[in-house]
Structures are given as C-alpha cells and as structure tokens.
Amino acid sequence: MKVNAQSVNFVADKKLINFIENRLDKLDLFYDKVISSDVYLKVQNTSAKENKIVEIKVQIPRDQLIVKKQCKSFEEAVDNACSSLERQLVKKKQKLRAHA
C-alpha cells in the first residue's frame, strides 16, 4: 500500500514516518483491497498537552475512510486512528460478504 505522510508546520523524523508506515501496513490484514493512505500530522498551538493531531485518509475501491485523532503523542494518535480504521475495514468487509 502507498503511504503518503505530510507534516504541517514541522518536520517529522524518519522514526515517526517508519512507525506510521509499519502501523498502516497492518491494515492489509483486515482488508486486502486498500489502495493508498494519506496521513496528515499537525501540532496545534494550544496550552493543552493533547495538541498532536493525526488525520488518516484511506482509499479503498469506491470509497474513502477518514479518521482524525488528537493525543499527547503522534504515536498514540496514529495507534488510535489505526484501531478505528481496523474496525471500519472489518465492518466494510462484512457488508461486502453479506451482499456477495
């Protein structure tokens, strides 16, 4: 799967990008028709500790899934977003099976 990661107003280090790619590669276990994914990393300028925002858009045939999470660290946000995506992909797969 093609992973396109973009960081807004900062430069993401290689370790973070590798973590994101590895985590998103696991989505193939839940739904094998994932085409690509776009990951947007943002830091919100607030006094709150939970100022890291991760938005993931996953392209699948005839559809697009979007998940946005805000946490203390990017790793935690990516992990939470991927868990949500896994649930959505499993639902999508079950619906397809029901119609087939």
Domain boundaries defined on the chain? 2-99
Residue 97: predicted pLDDT: 86
**pLDDT tens track, the chain, 100 positions:** 899 999 998 999 999 999 999 999 999 999 888 999 999 999 988 888 889 999 999 999 989 999 999 999 999 999 999 999 999 999 998 988 887 6
- Report pTM: 0.91
Query: Which phi and psi (to 5°) does residue 46 adopt?
Result: -130, 170
The position carrying tokens 């899934």 is: 65
Residue 82: predicted pLDDT: 96
Closest among 24, 83, 19 to 58, alpha carbons compared: 24
CATH superfamily of 2-99: Ribosome hibernation promotion factor-like (3.30.160.100)
Residue 47: predicted pLDDT: 82
Task: List the strands of the sheet with 36-43, edge to edge.
Answer: 2-8, 36-43, 52-60, 63-71
Q: Long-range contact list for 83-86, CB < 8 A, 24+ apart?
A: 85/27, 85/56, 85/58, 86/26, 86/27, 86/30
